[in-house]
Structure 1
Amino acid sequence: MTSAPHAPVLLAEVLEALAPAPGDVMIDATFGAGGYTRALLKTGARVIALDRDPTVQPHADAVAADFPGRFQLVRTPFSGLAEAFAGSDADRLDGAVFDIGVSSMQLDQAERGFSFMRDGPLDMRMSDEGETAADIVNTWDHGPLAHILKLYGEERQSGRVATAILRRRVEQPFTRTLDLAETVEKALGGRRGAPIHPATRTFQALRIAVNDELGELERGLEAAEATLAPGGRLAVVTFHSLEDRIVKAFLAQRSGNAPGGSRHAPVATDTRKPTFALQFKGAREATEQERAANPRARSAKLRAAVRTQAPAWAPMAGRAAA
């Protein structure tokens, strides 16, 4: 049995939320190194794992060898959840877990281009298809580039960073991570004792844009809503406010707890029935012990809900588009 490169965050809390039992069918929407999957399989459940990253295959092979007949990996992003389940021979989905964002395993692979601390090709794709981060910084106009830096990276000086990128690429296109990180650092006047590297927000924005992470999260949540059986459980772990706001808003709306309008602009009564019941108010966070042992857990939040018998709501497209 191979060991996972990193520990799954909030594992005990996720298992409590999913309450897996022998014979249950679970979807691990972010397989990664298989941490959640292995824990679910050890309870006797069956797991359909999703991941668009081709480099996870060795971990999947190891899990399949350790738990024959109860595990399969499907190469797909979140949005393919319903199709992945339909392609299995299972007739009921009892639970689904999402672990949002880039994994420490991906950050540690310099050749993937996710990290501004390690030199590598400016790629950032979680799959092996589509536009790269280099494509964006070398071809996008100032307006769209500044927009995603502000929207996805929450970079207050997005215009200044975009200007610096466009000026530099005239001399030489960007191909390496450290080259881009240095350009952003210079544009923002250096580190100046800042608690985070000046390029942190730019790299985050590019990664989210390259992988359409927020759009995939929204579509994945809707796919889980459409696929979970009544009584099925949903658990979502996020690490950033952008992601958590999407999950919070989705579950608030689908559980009938979304805030209403003001007295000046009242919201029309929604006749759709709640498709989820919240397991607990707010979000659960890691214990002090887990935070000390696993730095990745410091910003983690878990939200969980149980599927009702109400029909799924119609998907809403385009909400996270840049």
Structure 2
Amino acid sequence: MRDINIRATEHFEAVARLGSVTKAAEELGVSASAVSQQVKLLEEQFGVRLFRREKRRLVLTLDGDRLFQTTTQAFSAIRNARSAITRQRDTRNLTLRVSPSFGVRWLGPRIYDFAEANADWNIRVDATPDFSAFDTEAVDFDLRYGLGGWTGLSVTCVMRDLVMPMCSPDYLASLRTISDDPREQIAEARLIDSVKALYRWDLWLASNKIEVQGLEYPFRFDRSSMSIELAKQGGGIALDSVTLCLPELLRGDLVPFSTSFDVIDFPAYWFVCPPRHFNRRIVKRFMEWLGSKAEEHEAQARTFLTDAGCTFRPESGPELIEVKPWAL
């Protein structure tokens, strides 16, 4: 390629494509004489004529046409690549992956706040239980639900989870007609099972030394959002995340089943990405925004539960049952 005059070739291609030295000069931003000079240099290099003039019109010779067919395809490909690169550079995209229920119930109502403060960015949220394969997927970061500890990645806990049994006020009132003892109420209750939760009924019952004969789950869901919705409608007791249903608790649509049992408190929501992704300032900006919103939300949840008479039992993680993939 060293013996090819790229500049002269570019001028030749413009003249052949536009059919005019003047038009080529306008496109290239140079004088017509400069274009003519470059074409002449190229003809001298190849030792052939590339154009002939017919009635004030430039016509490609056979050699000129052969060269044009090759060069115009090459320059067209370069122009297309440049346009694609420019569009990608000018279009600001942020792509994140989040577990479905957390995405719908927690992130969804808040994401506009971040979007409004970063209006020049396009934000794509992929709600799926599958973790990102960062080496092969164009995802900036994951908001994961789990125990943490994903090797080779930057893993930052952004929020702890607060888990307790919850139900509708009417359903709780119906259980209290059976007995005043919450342990006896549990034995008669319809238990709603979130099958992919970190903390499930069997573990909760064992930790509270409650034995239920013939334990059955009339309702089992792989999404916490569905368990919460059914509990709100009076379908039973859901052992689930206060993080995901704080608005329902604040409105009174859901109530704690009993303050006799501790609220399970453990780190559960994580900001996960390869360390190199923090080179993008927008990723750092989102994590800072997320941390602020999560801190605000967690404080509100703890205040509500404390005022309701609840106590907390911190868990570090090993006590929890590990189920993969996390799909809340």
TM range (shorter): under 0.3
Please state which structure has a larger fraction of its residues in strand: 2
Q: Which has the higher contact order (CA 8 A, sep 6+)?
A: 2
Q: TM (normalized to structure 2)?
A: 0.25
